[in-house]
Amino acid sequence: MFRANLFTQRFSIHKRAARRKVALRGPPMDIQTMSPELITGFQVATLTLTLTFLLELSCSIPEVFQLRSNPKGKRLYRACITANLVNNLLIGPPTYALATNFFVSHREYSAARSIASALGLIVTHALGYHYAHRQMHEPSMYWAHKFHHAFAKHVTPSSANAVSVVEYVYAYMLPFVAGCAVCAPDERALLAAVAVVSVNNLLIHTPRLEVTTNRFNPSAILIVLNRTYNVNQSIAQEISKMLPWWAVSTADHMMHHRVQASYRTLV
């Protein structure tokens, strides 16, 4: 009888302890308990990663093999994949949910107003990114941008989101949040702007498109003139100042990465 009571007491103690642990941990994660905005954020992240993988597979296999041809390059590519997963899955969705809950209209706009707010958001993001990118090329902030420019000799679509957490928050996410606060878009406009910016970011990091964009890019004319007709470099620089700063093609961005390669030895 005594042993039976002792067993019952021990069992009840263990049961109460297990209940306390469950209470401290909270209910198990269930997709039904997540906010719709957070779910949409994860869907956007999944689509971004899928498109990155497809571009990597269809357009950049040679660059990936060249990058992974030595131990340093293999480490860099692993860091690239890790950064894509962390930035897209851990930082992107909560930021999307935050911007949607605080600054995005929950009623659907007319088509004209939705398009106008999407364009406004794209322009605001471009201005914010342009400022942040210039800041990160200053010596005091280059530490946050250095990882991205490790991809100078071999650039792949996955390098588009291979940035430090600080850069991803400061240059990628914050301009979107600020743009939502300024433009107050509806969710359709926000998704359209995110799609435009994300796809463009991947395309300008796809070297296979460099030749195509070079044909239509005005800055490419300067290169041709300089190489073929030996046009004075100072004249070429003056002409380049007349070009709109926002007209960035794959050719432009590849040149930007290669300029960094000329200053230091990279894989």
Q: Rounded distance, CA 160 to CA 79, Å?
A: 13
Q: Rounded distance, CA 51 to CA 206, Å?
A: 12
State the average pLDDT for the chain.
78
Max alpha carbon distance in the chain (Å)? Answer: 105
Average pLDDT score over residue span 164-182: 96
Q: Rounded distance, CA 170 to CA 158, Å?
A: 19
The encoded tokens of residue 202 equal 């991947």
Contact 258, 152 (CB under 8 A): yes
Q: In the chain, where are the structural domains located? A: 36-206
34 pLDDT tier (thresholds 50, 70, 90):
confident
Q: What's the pLDDT tens digit per position in 50-76?
A: 999 999 999 889 989 998 999 999 999
**Three-state secondary-structure class, residue 164:** coil
Q: What's the pLDDT tens digit per position in 210-247?
A: 655 444 444 444 444 444 334 444 443 444 444 444 45
